Every structure is written in C-alpha cells, then in structure tokens.
Structure 1
Amino acid sequence: MQRHTTTQLHREKINDALYKIHLDIANPLHVKDVAAFVSTSMYHFNRLFYAHMGEHVHGYIKRVRLENAANALLFNPQMSVLEIAHASGFGSGASFTHAFKDYFGATPTKWREVDKESEGCSRPITPLLNAPKIVRLPSRKVAYVRHRGYDRSIQNPWLKLLEWAKEEGISPDAPMLGLHHSNPRFVPLAKCHYVACLEIKKTHFAKGEVGIMRMPSVLCAMFSFKGRYGEFLSQMDSVYYEWLPTSGFEKLPLPSFAIYHKNHFTSPDETYVLDFCIPVKHA
C-alpha cells in the first residue's frame, strides 16, 4: 500500500512540474526552480523526472522551447528571429541560433527559408473550407492525463481519465479537450505530446496519472472540423500552413487544443466533430 501511495505522489509531482514548465516558456526557468516548485531536492527530482519522462528536465525544457520557436519561425513571419528567441525563453540570439542548429540541423534563418511544408512529410494539406471564428474562450478547470505519441494509443489516456471521472461522479457528458503540444509536421508522431482533458466544475483532487490544472482564458482562432481517425492531421496542417502565416495573427506560445463534440478516440466508429482552437494575438 505504501508503494502505491508513493508512486501516486511521484506522478503528481511530475504533473505539477510539467504544468510549471509549460505555464510560460518565455520566463527564465532552471531545474532548481522546478524542483523547488514541487518541494523536492534537485537531485531527487532529476532522477524522478527521468524515470517518468525518459528525458532529463533540462533537455525537456530546452526541447519544448525549441519546438515552440520552430513553429513561430514558420507561422509568425512578421516576428524577427530575435523576438522569437526571447519569446521562447532564450536570453540571446547567439545562444538561440546555436541551440536551434544543434537540434534541427539548420539555423533559424535557414529553417524559415526552406519550405517545410513539403520536406519530410508526404501528408497532403486539406484545403480550408471556412474562415475561423475569433473568440475569447473562458478559463477552464480540467482534469488531465498526459501522453506521448499521436496514434490510436491516445485512447489509453482517455480510458484512464474516464475511469477516474466515473469514480469521482463526474458526468459522462463533461466537455472533453485535447491539448496538442507538438507540431506533427516536423515532430515524429511517436514523440508528439498530447494531453487528454476533462472539464470539471467542482473541487476534485489529483490521483496517480490524473492531474488538475486551470487553462487560462485566451483569444483563439476556432476552426470547426469533422471527419474520421487519420484525417485530422491534414486539417491541422491547413490551419498552420495555409491560414496562419497570412492571417494577421501570431500564435501564442500555448498549446493548440481541440474541443470535442464527438471524440474519435472514444467513439466506436472513430469519427469526430470538434473545434480546433489556436491561441493567438493580433500581429
């Protein structure tokens, strides 16, 4: 019993740490800051994080910032490389360029010049049929389970979350959301980070892999999509590569998310109806 309780405590600390990391990637953040946030020694936290996430804390923070920067370079052409560096948590243009080239194999400027739409991905981009709604969405309190991999295995965090919700007496009709931390156009699908979220109204507590967080109120470009499993990635690409660069908006360094009206990861027929929301600000 003690071992089970300790395992749950460790998972809750990791959930809290990930929340801290993703809350504002532009702010300077060191491993000791994250360890202190979850009331753990830096040595113990490093070991704990690696055991649960398969990568070291410093490397995880660096990767999240670089992936955000890679998106911004493609989607926010009006921002300078230095502006993107600062918005992604890098103190100087030189340190950013060195880290970016080391990770992606190209300088930020070269990355922007190359047509990434056609490199390394044979997936066609689905033409957009309708313009988005620009809306400010309210803050939401959610229970969540994190997952790595964008494929049918996403059903697993949803099953865990729905089982927890059943134990907590949460309505099976509670709104479902899926947070997309990675761009599957250049991040391998097996490494994409996804978060299954269930909106909650009352006070509930984290348990095991299930964490609790509050999503901020944010201005979003909202696109309505429907389809079958396997089709959504092309629709997502159309938003990022067709609409965003010429939209007059900048994507904020927050994850895009789907609000499911029908969730293909939990529906037997694997069809979906959803609103895909991109956090933005006016350029």
Structure 2
Amino acid sequence: MNRKYKTRIDQALQYIEENLSKRILLTDVAKVSHFSPYHFHRIFTGIVGETINDYIARRRLERAINTLIFKPDLSMTQVALGNGFSSSANFSKAVKLYFGFSPSEIRNPDKIKDSKIGKIYSKYGKDFNPSDLYPTRLTNEMTSAIYREDTIMNIEVRDIDGYRVCALPSTRGYESKAIYEAWDKLIGWAASNGIKRDEQQRFAFAFDNPTVTPIDKCRYEAAIVIGSNIQVNPPFNLSEIPKGKYAVLYFKGSPEETIKAQLSIYSDWLPDSGFEPDNFPMLEHYLNDVRVDGHIEMEIHVKLKAMVSS
C-alpha cells in the first residue's frame, strides 16, 4: 500500500476512534484524511475492507459492549449515550440486531434460554456467546483446565519506564499466520539493526477484544524496543510504550487460554483495585517463542489510572 494513503487512512481511523461517542459525518472524516469526500468512501472501503458506515457501526457496538461488561455500574442509558447512540432504545435495538442478544442478556448470560444468531455471524462469520465475556462464569471443568499445574498466574502493579519501539501491524488481525508473518519480518529487521534475537524485548499492542470483534478485524501490532539511535522507516512504524503504572499479569499456558487470563484482569482484579484502565491498548510482553516451546509465557500489561469518582 502507498505510504501516504496508509498514513491518511490511519488518520481517519484515529479520528473515528476519538469521536465514537459523537455523531460522525463522512465529510468530517474525509477532511481529516485529506481525501475528496466524493471519493473518500471508495478509498476507505478499498483499503479497510468495510464501508465507512459499517466500520463506524461495528466499532461503536464493540466499544459499547466492552463498556457494558467492564463497567457494570453504568446504566444502559449511560452506556448508550457514552458510545454515540441517541437513546437506550436505539442502543438495545442495534445490539440485538448485530449480536443476536439484548444488552440485558449480555450483562446477564445466565438468563439466556436459547442460542441466537445475529448480524455478526452472517456478516463476519463470528460466533458470539455472551458467557465467553465472563471468565468467572466458567464451569468447574473449564476452570480446572485453565488453572492446571503448568498455568501460573500472578498480578502486580508496576511502575514502568517509557520505551521507544518499532512496530509492525498484523495484516489479518489476530489470525496466527498473519501474526507470525509480522513477527518474522520485525525480528529480522531488528537483527539487521544490531539487536540480537536473544536480547530483543518483544511486545504486542492488542487493541481489541476477540470475544466481541471478529478475529481478522482485531488490531494487533508486533513491537520491539529500540534505542534512540535507530531509524525506523516504512513499512515499520515508530511508536512508544508510555511511562506509567501498569497492572502486570504473568501468564504461562496455551494460546487458547490467553483470552480468559486477559479478561480476568477486568472481571476479577480491576473492580476492587482502586484503578481503572487508562486510554491505552493492552500489551503482551513475550518471554518465550510459542512456536519453539508449544506454550506462551508472557506478561500482560494494562495501563492504569486512579479511579475517577462519579
């Protein structure tokens, strides 16, 4: 992809993310990207793979469902208005149509009697089950499988210095093949710039929740810590991990168990921690190579800020 096109589409995506709680006009997004509004929607669809309206609707719904789950103290109306819906009724209708379940069913999956299929399956081929959003609702059998002897978990709050990183996005979200391709390119790049493979500090920016977002639409960026003297050029991006306080969960287990470990931070630890997540994506700090060892060993980082009293 042409670098200028990608940069301008990235500006459009960033504008959308920052304004999901408001009304977003195509002309405004086109203006931010510096493309003609007459052609912007075709350029956006061609590069992103979704129409701009579909993209905005999907991101708004995904963020709303995450808010619904991880901020249970908020009312349906607060969740709806805070995520760009004009009313709780419109929010409920949109959620039911897209996910196949009402907001109250997603908040209380134990009350669901029948499995349902929403637009998310017909449009993206993704199964959606509200129970998957709640690690603490797992059966005893599943729990024992997750917390078996070789799966070790421990959370601590840690002050972390900022890092300068070179990043490379996965072209197909959380799909394994695309993730490995991104890492192979990035690891090779770092080695060619004098960072030995066994000395590389490898992080990943995990922007989305795959229990809500289709796997290939999840945003994932591989990243390696670099010194101030290293130049970064396309297709790689210069980025940073900001200094701050982070909840750090040590995890060792299978790739399939990772999402449950991540969600446990939000469902089991955060509510009583005195903190809330800061506006920064989840990080995965890899301590081994899953392709060599057959399991993942990593630290999951969630940037924190003090709880704001409502």
Question: Conserved in 1, the CA contact under 8 Å of 2:154 and 2:250?
Answer: no
Q: Distance in 1 between matches of 2:163 and 2:86?
A: 32
Question: Conserved in 1, the CA contact under 8 Å of 2:162 and 2:240?
Answer: yes
Q: Distance in 1 between matches of 2:35 and 2:200?
A: 34
CA spacing shift, 1:135–1:57, aligned 2, 3 Å: farther
Pairwise mapping of residues 157-168 of structure 1 onto structure 2 (< 5 A)? 157-166=182-191
Q: Which amino acid aligns with 2:249?
A: F
Partner of 2:57: 62
* Moved beyond 6 Å, runs of 4+: 119-123
Matching of residue 207 in structure 1 with residue 234 in structure 2: yes
Please report how far the alpha carbon of residue 189 of structure 1 lies from its aligned counterpart in structure 2 after TM superposition. Answer: 3.5
Please report how far the alpha carbon of residue 181 of structure 1 lies from its aligned counterpart in structure 2 after TM superposition. Answer: 2.4
Please report how far the alpha carbon of residue 55 of structure 1 lies from its aligned counterpart in structure 2 after TM superposition. Answer: 0.7
How many residue pairs get aligned? The number is 274
The one-character-per-residue Cα deviations of 1:122-158 (angstroms, maximum 9, x if unpaired) are 9945349655222454554433333334342110122
> TM-score of the superposition, structure 2-length normalised?
0.70
Partner of 1:144: 167
Give the superposed CA RMSD: 3.6
- Higher relative CO (Cα under 8 Å, sequence separation at least 6) belongs to 1
Q: Distance in 2 between matches of 1:269 and 1:244?
A: 31
Partner of 1:110: 105
Q: Which amino acid aligns with 1:236?
A: Q
Q: Distance in 2 between matches of 1:85 and 1:189?
A: 25
Q: Distance in 2 between matches of 1:199 and 1:27?
A: 35
The alignment-based identity, stated in percent, is 28
Please report how far the alpha carbon of residue 47 of structure 1 lies from its aligned counterpart in structure 2 after TM superposition. Answer: 2.1
The one-character-per-residue Cα deviations of 1:36-63 (angstroms, maximum 9, x if unpaired) are 3332223433222222221123322332
Q: Which amino acid aligns with 1:117?
A: S
Structure whose CA Rg is larger: 2
> TM-score of the superposition, structure 1-length normalised?
0.76
Q: Distance in 1 between matches of 2:15 and 2:100?
A: 29
Q: Which amino acid aligns with 1:133?
A: E
Partner of 1:197: 223
Matching of residue 243 in structure 1 with residue 269 in structure 2: yes
Q: Distance in 2 between matches of 1:114 and 1:165?
A: 45
